[in-house]
């Protein structure tokens, strides 16, 4: 049984999107199905998207899948972005891509170390080696070097294996909040130190919803329905009955397990990845000009982005920040 915000959402759908009659919509994720995609699966599973007229198909991403390219080619309606840096790049390249919601208020990017070796952020800066992938090196590690005392010499390539980390306690490594820490606990039987970069000033949203400017102009009711449905999906996935969504995630990813999903949900809640900061006042999915502008300035300072990009063109606040779904949050 869907709760009060969903009933209000259904009424909104009747006034703004009643003529849609279950219009088919595709949403491409940027990786294989996991708990970090849970809000979207939730609204497919419990019928929230259908309440306002959308028949949503989730198309999982992966290492050999480029769903963003499919959206740019007009073969997909929405795409899951990583962070705002990709949207800035689109603006810089005159690609009419727009972020319409931010599922994560905090990036789940983390740096991991061995307990007793580097127990503080300052001690982390003293490690001889940090395993950082190529993508991380040209983004968040540039910020780490610019804002703190991390160095070029510390960085060694991360091959997405935890084996080197486990073999040498003097090595730190990149990871995602719910991935590498879980794998380390399962394989080595200890809890590593986990430093969430957002807690040390790495701003910017993550798991964004991207679409083309033409979709916003020509089908605003579709965008509104998808964004609102996704917002409600995240509240219900985190705080309600998510069993049907979990079953969908497991079906879409043969390598996913229930214990890993449970670990990820608990981590997202405890660290406020989805529901924290401005979302506590304006609702999940919110985007603010201040937050985007600060992230852009940080990326310019780190040498990741050039000065002069029209970063305001990378997003819109039209569809978020109205408090939808906040009544679904458990009382404190």
Q: How would residue 21 be classed by pLDDT, with cut points 50, 70 and 90? A: confident
Report d(CA 164, CA 326) in Å as an integer: 43
Q: How would residue 307 be classed by pLDDT, with cut points 50, 70 and 90? A: very high
- Which CATH class name applies to 4-105+204-328? alpha beta
207-228: burial string, b at 16+ Cβ within 10 Å, e else: bbbbbbeebbeebebbbbbbbb
What CATH code is assigned to 109-200?
A: 3.40.190
Query: At residue 15, does pLDDT exceed 60?
Result: no
Q: How would residue 63 be classed by pLDDT, with cut points 50, 70 and 90? A: confident
Contact 263, 107 (CB under 8 A): no
Query: At residue 10, does pLDDT exceed 60?
Result: no
Mean pLDDT throughout 119-144? 96
Mean pLDDT throughout 278-303? 97
* 171-176/109-113 β-pairing: antiparallel
Mean pLDDT throughout 78-87? 95
Report d(CA 118, CA 168) in Å as an integer: 13
Contact 133, 160 (CB under 8 A): yes
State residue 18's pLDDT score: 45
Query: At residue 12, does pLDDT exceed 50?
Result: no
> Residue 30: which of 117, 135, 153 has the closest Cα?
135
State residue 204's pLDDT score: 87
Query: At residue 19, does pLDDT exceed 50?
Result: no
Tell me the whole-structure pTM to 2 decimals.
0.93
State residue 20's pLDDT score: 44
State residue 200's pLDDT score: 96
State residue 30's pLDDT score: 94
Q: What is the location of CATH 3.40.190.10 in the chain?
A: 4-105+204-328
What's the mean per-residue pLDDT of the chain?
A: 93
Q: CA distances (Å), 290 to each of 92, 220, 287, in order?
A: 20, 24, 9
Query: At residue 117, does pLDDT exceed 70?
Result: yes
Query: At residue 158, does pLDDT exceed 90?
Result: yes
pLDDT 10s digits, 227-267 = 999 999 999 999 999 999 999 999 999 999 999 999 999 99
**Between 1 and 188, where is the model more confident?**
188
State residue 211's pLDDT score: 98
pLDDT 10s digits, 208-231 = 999 999 999 999 999 999 999 999
* Residue found by looking up tokens 């610019």 in the block: 146
Query: At residue 46, does pLDDT exceed 80?
Result: yes
């Amino acid at each position: 049984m869907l709760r009060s915000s969903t009933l209000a959402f259904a009424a909104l759908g009747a006034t703004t999107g009643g003529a849609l009659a279950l219009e088919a919509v595709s949403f491409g994720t940027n990786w294989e199905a996991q708990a970090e995609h849970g809000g979207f699966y939730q609204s497919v599973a419990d019928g929230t998207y259908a309440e306002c007229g959308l028949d949503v198909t989730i198309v999982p991403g992966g290492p050999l899948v480029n769903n963003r390219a499919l959206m740019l080619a007009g073969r997909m309606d929405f795409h899951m972005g990583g962070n705002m840096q990709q949207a800035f790049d689109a603006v810089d390249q005159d690609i009419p891509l727009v972020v319409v919601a931010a599922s994560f208020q905090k990036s789940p990017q983390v740096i991991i170390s061995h307990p007793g070796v580097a127990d503080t952020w300052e001690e982390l800066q003293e490690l001889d080696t940090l395993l950082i992938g190529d993508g991380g090196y040209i983004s968040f590690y540039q910020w780490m070097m610019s804002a703190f005392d991390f160095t070029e010499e510390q960085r060694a390539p991360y091959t997405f294996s935890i084996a080197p980390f486990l073999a040498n306690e003097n090595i730190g490594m990149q990871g995602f909040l719910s991935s590498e820490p879980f794998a380390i606990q399962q394989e080595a039987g200890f809890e590593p130190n986990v430093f969430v970069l957002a807690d040390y000033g790495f701003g910017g949203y993550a798991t964004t919803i991207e679409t083309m400017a033409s979709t916003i102009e020509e089908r605003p009711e579709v965008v509104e329905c998808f964004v609102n449905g996704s917002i409600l999906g995240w509240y219900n996935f985190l705080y309600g009955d998510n069993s049907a969504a979990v079953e969908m995630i497991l079906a879409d990813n043969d390598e996913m397990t229930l214990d890993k999903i449970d670990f990820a949900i608990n981590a997202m809640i405890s660290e406020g990845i989805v529901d924290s900061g401005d979302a506590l006042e304006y609702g999940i999915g919110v985007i603010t000009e201040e937050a985007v502008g600060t992230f852009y300035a940080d990326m310019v300072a780190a040498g990741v982005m050039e000065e002069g990009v029209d970063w305001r063109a990378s997003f819109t606040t039209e569809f978020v920040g109205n408090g939808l779904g906040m009544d679904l949050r458990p009382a404190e």
